[in-house]
Amino acid sequence: MAIADVFSRSSTTTGPGAAVTPLSAFGERPAREGEHVEALYAWVDEIAALTTPDRVHWVGGSRLENEALLREMVDEGRLIKLNPEWRPGSYLARSHPGDVARTEGRTYIASEREEDAGPTNNWVAPDEMRATLTPLFAGSMRGRTMYVVPFSMGTVGGPLSHIGVQITDSAYAVASIGIMTRVGVDVIDQIAAGKPWVKTVHTVGAPLAPGEQDVAWPCNDEKYIVHYPDTLEVWSFGSGYGGNAILAKKCFALRIASVIGRDEGWLAEHMLLIRVISPEGKKYHIAAAFPSACGKTNLAMLRPTIPGWRVETLGDDISWIRPGDDGRLWAINPEAGFFGVAPGTGESTNVTAVETLWGNTIFTNVALRPDGDVWWEGLTDETPAELTDWEGNPWTPASGRPAAHPNSRFTVSAGQCPQIADDWEAPEGVPLDAILFGGRRATNVPLVVEATDWSHGVFIGSNISSERTAAAEGTVGELRRDPFAMLPFCGYNMADYFAHWLRVGKALHVSKRPRVFQVNWFRKGSDGRFLWPGFGDNSRVIEWIVRRLEGAVDAVDAPIGRLPRIEDLNLEGIDVPQQDLEELFAVDPESWLHEADLTEQFYSTFEGKVPPRLYAELEALRYRLKRAQQA
């Protein structure tokens, strides 16, 4: 008997033999009145008429409804219920092997004007795109249930919050959205009251003929992830995975929200958010932008290895940042859960994540243990002798392939994180003290460097490059530019985005602007090993950053910014050889001049739209590098 069969029998929380509520008992359209809600009803009817599902289910967001949905997915073979003894309330999903990550090549910004999408986005005119998508969506939900999911990013009704509705034919997406956002009928009340909302439509693109047997993970070889920023819409076809299907996340909270932010004077960023508490009890708030699979979740859950320091988690992927009445920048995490990378998450690297995942978690594309628990590379030091791999095949350490997909993920409520800040849902957010930019750089970029001022910080952000990871399709390890870690997520012309960043900062009084730093945990020695221990020891870098904010330590002026004096880094309890430390902070003017040339090339792709201020920063950098070269 398969594990799924064993555990699905004990899957109800109502106890053995008790009657369970079927999913069909839920799903009624909430009865509300008024023109705003009528517009929502009309839109839902219109999408149903186009996609022709067998039934329409309005998701109310209750716990019982969620349990019924999960139970149905187990019964239909879409989820495997994990052994509740090890992992209560938790499930494993296995995706189609061709649907394992975001598909950036199939992601479009369909703005009216091509120059509003810019050279870093795929652009197609909205009319043309609609002409392509309409026939694809026509009948795409045949044989399936169409779910209508009202959700809020940020607490419902909060001053920085925004709402949306996702239509989807994927129950997996519904369950995921239920964890990642705040789903409920109170959102419909907001719509009825006239609050603007974002329309998102998702289909896996796999209609069923009458009597046709479904597969566990339906999807389509053809994929389209399309954003219409001018009408605040997202249309996603063909994929069930992550950011392609949970449209509140990258599509709404970054691509569409960045456009709203541009127009309203705020920032939607690919940033984690933490509170750092010093041994003196002082609190600092730091947001950090690293590209996908470059350490946001890990830093968000940092457990300092230095005595007296504490970190509280506020968010691990997205921050919405807005100037407050006090002239500071205030940030919220608009999400309600974590969709985190599993491989590399373990007791020795991120014990907080491991503890967060004790139960109530949906795992996707990890390996299954014979005892009905999950496993992935890096979870434990010891590799289990026998597993079922992410594709459902028998696996042993001799198999010569990873047991979990490199982009396998966990989906879990943020509230389950043992170090989540008590006030993480505070609607007004937290005031930012520092902003960090980083990426995966084997060479050149030092462990930490401080920007000299806001413009220099924006220049650094615009220059972030990082080695590609498995979070999106493409060649892993290849260096690419990923400005602000937003290359795949900026919903408008990136040169305008740079200008927007300059503007937002300039509007703040100098004393209230967050200080900007660049960090790099991933520098390698000539022998290919990481020079810095990383993870909990990144607290040593955070300590230096906080001491800089406090004015407690000096820094050394270097051509690329301000570097720490090595003696100011707290290295107690770790053993990083002097030579490695020097390599960690080495700045080679020659390589940096080469980087400056690449920056110029990159800027030139925007055809004169990059703000002159950033060109001035580039020239100043070159000047300082040449001076250093001559010295």
Q: Minimal distance in Å, beta carbon 250 to ligand SPV? A: 4
Is 219 catalytic? The answer is: no
Cβ of 35: how many Cβ atoms within 10 Å?
A: 8
How far is 568 from 436, CA to CA, in rounded Å? 19
How far is 585 from 200, CA to CA, in rounded Å? 45
How far is 212 from 570, CA to CA, in rounded Å? 63
How far is 553 from 551, CA to CA, in rounded Å? 6
Q: Minimal distance in Å, beta carbon 621 to ligand GTP? A: 27
Which does residue 534 touch among ligand SPV, ligand GTP, Mn ion, none (CB within 5 to 8 A, set by kind)?
A: ligand GTP
Which does residue 249 touch among ligand SPV, Mn ion, ligand GTP, none (CB within 5 to 8 A, set by kind)?
A: ligand SPV
Indicate the residue among 43 and 530 with the shorter CB distance to ligand GTP.
530
**What element of type H or E holds 625?**
helix 612-630
Angle 614-617-618 (CA atoms, 0-180°, nearest 5)? 90
Does position 290 interact with ligand GTP (CB under 6 A)? The reply is yes
Choice from 143, 178, 242, 536 touching ligand SPV (CB under 6 A): 242
Segment near ligand SPV (CB under 6 A); pick from 242-250, 388-396, 431-439, 440-448: 242-250
What secondary structure does DSSP assign to 500-525, as a single string? Answer: HHHHHHHTS-GGGSPEEEEE-TT-B-
- The dihedral of CA 540, 543, 549, 554: what is its sign? negative
How far is 34 from 439, CA to CA, in rounded Å? 49
Q: Minimal distance in Å, beta carbon 605 to Mn ion? A: 24
Does position 317 interact with Mn ion (CB under 5 A)? The reply is yes
Choice from 53, 154, 324, 343 touching ligand GTP (CB under 6 A): 343
Does position 340 interact with ligand GTP (CB under 6 A)? The reply is yes
Please give the residues from 421 up to 460 whose contact with ligand SPV meets the rule CB under 6 A: none
Does position 530 interact with ligand GTP (CB under 6 A)? The reply is yes
Segment near ligand GTP (CB under 6 A); pick from 123-131, 288-296, 419-427, 618-626: 288-296
Please give the residues from 248 up to 267 whose contact with ligand SPV meets the rule CB under 6 A: 249-250
Indicate the residue among 245 and 541 with the shorter CB distance to ligand SPV.
245
Please give the residues from 190 up to 209 whose contact with ligand GTP meets the rule CB under 6 A: none
Cβ contact 432:285 at 8 Å: yes
Does position 317 interact with ligand GTP (CB under 6 A)? The reply is yes
Structure tokens at 220: 């389509």
Does position 521 interact with ligand GTP (CB under 6 A)? The reply is yes
Please give the residues from 336 up to 375 whose contact with ligand SPV meets the rule CB under 6 A: 339
Does position 243 interact with ligand SPV (CB under 6 A)? The reply is yes
Which of left, alpha, beta for 365 (phi over 0: left; psi -120 to 50: alpha)?
left
Name which of 140, 309, 284, 150 is nearest 223 in CA terms: 140
Which does residue 340 touch among ligand GTP, ligand SPV, Mn ion, none (CB within 5 to 8 A, set by kind)?
A: ligand GTP
The three-state (H, E, C) secondary structure of 175-222, written as one string:
HHHHHHCEECHHHHHHHHCCCCEEEEEEECCCCCCCCCCCCCCCCCCC
Does position 292 interact with ligand SPV (CB under 6 A)? The reply is yes
Does position 483 interact with ligand SPV (CB under 6 A)? The reply is no
Please give the residues from 310 up to 329 whose contact with ligand SPV meets the rule CB under 6 A: 317
Indicate the residue among 290 and 606 with the shorter CB distance to ligand GTP.
290
Q: Minimal distance in Å, beta carbon 249 to ligand SPV? A: 5
Q: Minimal distance in Å, beta carbon 217 to ligand SPV? A: 15
How far is 553 from 124, CA to CA, in rounded Å? 51
Cβ contact 515:548 at 8 Å: yes
Q: Minimal distance in Å, beta carbon 356 to Mn ion? A: 17
Choice from 297, 408, 462, 520 touching ligand GTP (CB under 6 A): 297
Q: Minimal distance in Å, beta carbon 288 to Mn ion? A: 12
DSSP 256: I
Which does residue 243 touch among Mn ion, ligand SPV, ligand GTP, none (CB within 5 to 8 A, set by kind)?
A: ligand SPV
Does position 295 interact with ligand GTP (CB under 6 A)? The reply is yes
Does position 296 interact with ligand GTP (CB under 6 A)? The reply is yes
How far is 485 from 156, CA to CA, in rounded Å? 28
**What element of type H or E holds 534?**
none
Residue tagged 């995921």 (tokens):
176
Widest pairwise Cα distance in the chain: 82
How far is 371 from 381, CA to CA, in rounded Å? 18
Indicate the residue among 167 and 245 with the shorter CB distance to ligand GTP.
245
Cβ contact 341:272 at 8 Å: no
Q: How many residues bind ligand GTP (CB under 6 A)?
A: 22
Indicate the residue among 354 and 426 with the shorter CB distance to ligand GTP.
354
Which of 219, 294, 417, 490 is labelled catalytic?
294
Cβ of 382: how many Cβ atoms within 10 Å?
A: 7
Name which of 471, 500, 499, 475 is nearest 485 in CA terms: 471
In the sheet that holds 337-341, the strands lie side by side as 80-81, 91-93, 362-364, 409-413, 337-341
Does position 471 interact with ligand GTP (CB under 6 A)? The reply is yes
Choice from 102, 227, 441, 622 touching ligand SPV (CB under 6 A): 102
Strand partners, 287: 273, 435
Residues carrying an active site annotation: 294
Binding site for Mn ion (CB under 5 A): 292, 317
Binding site for ligand SPV (CB under 6 A): 102, 242-243, 249-250, 292, 317, 339, 471
Binding site for ligand GTP (CB under 6 A): 290, 292-298, 316-317, 340-341, 343-344, 349, 471, 521-522, 530, 534-535, 538
